[in-house]
Amino acid sequence: MSPGVSIVRTRIPELIVIVMWTAASCFAQSGGPPWRAPIASSQELKIGGGAIQVDFANGKLDLPNSALTAWVDKAARAVTAYYGHFPVSRARVLIVPTSGDAIHGTTWGGVGGVAGFTRMRVGTRVSQADLSSDWTMTHELTHLAFPSLPDDHHWMEEGLATYVEPIARAQIGDLSARQVWEGMVSGMPNGEPQSGDQGLDRTHTWGRTYWGGAMFCLVADVMIRRQTDNRKGLQDALRAIVDTGGTIDHDWSLTRALEIGDRATGTTVLSDLYKKWSDAPKEVDLPALWKDLGVQSSANGVTFDDNAPLARIREAITQKG
Q: What is the tens place of the pLDDT at every residue in 68-108?
A: 999 999 999 999 999 999 999 999 999 999 999 999 999 99
pLDDT at 114: 97
Query: Whole-angstrom Cα distance, residue 134 to residue 152?
Result: 28
Identify which has the larger pLDDT, 105 or 9.
105
Confidence band for 13, pLDDT divided at 50, 70 and 90: very low
Task: Name the residue type at position 30.
Answer: S
Q: Could you tell me if 317 and 167 are in contact, meaning their C-beta atoms sit under 8 angstroms apart?
A: yes
220-270, pLDDT tens digit by residue? Answer: 999 999 999 999 999 999 999 999 999 999 999 999 999 999 999 999 999
Query: Whole-angstrom Cα distance, residue 69 to residue 228?
Result: 40
> CA-based angle 85:172:223, to the nearest 5?
75
Rg (alpha carbons) of the chain, rounded to whole number = 19
pLDDT of residue 319 exceeding 60: yes
Enclosing H/E stretch for 285: none
pLDDT at 30: 54
Enclosing H/E stretch for 301: strand 301-304
Which of 58, 109, 106 lies closest to 87 in space, CA to CA? 109
pLDDT at 21: 39
Enclosing H/E stretch for 243: helix 234-243
Domain residue limits, the chain: 13-145, 151-318
Enclosing H/E stretch for 180: helix 177-187
